[in-house]
Structure 1
Amino acid sequence: MMPELGKYAGTVLSAYAVSLLLLVLLVAASMIAARKAARALKDAEERRRNG
């Protein structure tokens, strides 16, 4: 399933690894931002209800 990469194997595999790492970081950052936004919305709704 893995193509023969020859002398470029290290470069290609490291590019895949960096890309995967960046995707993981983007997903994590998005999840953190979503939680922060949900928390801020919940706080704003509580403030609106209470006064």
Structure 2
Amino acid sequence: MTHLPYIIAAYGLTLVVAVTLSLNAAIRLRRARARLATIERPGRNANTAGRRA
């Protein structure tokens, strides 16, 4: 009896989870940077940063 199918499945699942978490982190980082760039746009000051016109 070989344990090879179990080992391959475990490594495969680990790889899928790691890739999924990495992609999710990269997407969230890109969105956060875009939001920060919007907040830090020139012409906005501290008094109007939280308000919308």
- TMscore range, shorter length: 0.7 to 0.9
**RMSD of aligned residue pairs (Cα, Å):** 1.2
Length-normalised TM-score, structure 1: 0.77
Identity %: 23
Length-normalised TM-score, structure 2: 0.74
More helix by share: 1
For residue 22 of structure 1, report the CA deviation from its aligned partner: 0.6
- Among candidates 4, 10, 15, match of residue 15 of structure 1: 10
Letter in 2 for 1:50: G
Aligned residues: 44
| Residue in structure 2 matched with residue 30 of structure 1 by the alignment | 25
Which one scores higher on RCO, CA 8 angstroms, separation ≥ 6? 2
